Structure 1
Amino acid sequence: MSTEPPGRPDAAGPPPLVSLLQEFSLEANRFADAAGARNDMHRTDLNALSVIMQHTSRNQVVTPGVLRRELHLSSPATTALIDRLDKSGHVVRERQGTDRRQVQLRMTPKAYRDGGAMFAPLARHMAAALAGFTPEELELATRFMHAMIDATVKAGEEAATGP
């Protein structure tokens, strides 16, 4: 008779650090869901604003196609998402440059204000947690997190296209 729990072939499980990363990811998702729900926003809305903010900080143009690809949405779902963000006052559609057909998406000051308010508790608690570490420890943790993000991106690409 086996002493392993049913449905779990490897009783050892992932290494403790990987388990902690999984737990962090789950808690971050729970926080985003709770913060979004208080502001009538779905996690996809928050993810879209995050994509727009990241691209904007790199001086890159954000189009509906960029959102569609980065969030893995269909064209109709992308349109519905942009419509929601536009209606809530978080995003505006603009046509700039020589090709007036291309729609560019920009976050509004309201989006930055709302986002700041939504994520202030997380920022406050994370800042307090970070204060307990030396600059050298934070540098090592930063390197580690970059490596984990890269590994996750590669695993996602492999999952999407196969090994």
Structure 2
Amino acid sequence: MSAEIPPQGGPGEPSPLVRLLQEFSLEANRYVDAAGARNDMHRTDLNALSVIMEHTAKNQVVTPGVLRRELHLSSPATTALIDRLDRSGHVVRERQGTDRRQVQLRMTAKAFEDGGAMFLPLARHMGAAMEGFTPEELEVATRFLTAMIAATVRAGEEAAGSA
């Protein structure tokens, strides 16, 4: 199973693969919006849970400051976000350190259950789509997407530096 690559556009237009990545990104965003709306969660809530999950998997402490930086939020917006996640039962605040001033954020079992339920349909459909590719094709796709993510991060850092 493979997607047909659209013909190359004119000078200055993105390549067909870049256009497909843009389309994938748009559709992924639409899915997140729909899944979040069905569960009364904002996109930022889901992004925050993703950040917490990613850092936790690396055994890194997640503080409100980490969320603020990763999600590019103001301090008041970060507090409102954490308050929402706390009220919904998805995150708990824990005091850390000897002076207990540092607040660490932890996902709850409810967050993992709700997240699994929200994203199971996407995982199921993506898994079925991936079955049409050989392990070698998936390895090339993995290398490609890894390189595209790194390129996007570098472009974002460049854009932020020139802002």
Q: Cα RMSD (Å) of the superposition?
A: 1.3
Tell me the TM-score normalized by structure 1. Answer: 0.91
- Per mean C-alpha deviation after superposition, the further-off stretch among 130-139 and 113-122 is 130-139
Give unpaired runs (5+ residues) of structure 2: 1-9
Cα distance, 1:12 vs. partner?
6.3
1:57-116 Cα shifts (integer Å, max 9, x gaps) = 000000000000000000000000000000000000001232410000000000000000
Give unpaired runs (5+ residues) of structure 1: 1-9
Counterpart residue identity of residue 26, structure 1 = L
* Count of residue pairs the alignment pairs up: 154
Task: Report the counterpart of residue 122 of structure 1 in structure 2.
Answer: 122
Within 5 Å, give how 1:10-159 maps onto structure 2: 13-159=13-159
Cα distance, 1:14 vs. partner?
1.0
CA–CA separation in structure 1 for the residues paired with 2:99 and 2:134: 50
CA–CA separation in structure 2 for the residues paired with 1:24 and 1:62: 29
Tell me the TM-score normalized by structure 2. Answer: 0.91
Counterpart residue identity of residue 82, structure 2 = I
Task: Report the counterpart of residue 3 of structure 2 in structure 1.
Answer: none
CA–CA separation in structure 2 for the residues paired with 1:83 and 1:50: 17
Task: Report the counterpart of residue 4 of structure 2 in structure 1.
Answer: none
C-alpha spacing 1:16/1:83, structure 2 compared with 1 (3 Å): same
1:92-141 Cα shifts (integer Å, max 9, x gaps) = 00012324100000000000000000000000000001111111111111
CA–CA separation in structure 2 for the residues paired with 1:148 and 1:124: 24
Q: Work out the percentage of aligned pairs sharing the same amino acid.
A: 82
CA–CA separation in structure 2 for the residues paired with 1:155 and 1:116: 31
CA–CA separation in structure 2 for the residues paired with 1:80 and 1:40: 15
Cα distance, 1:16 vs. partner?
0.5
Regions of 4+ moved over 6 Å: none
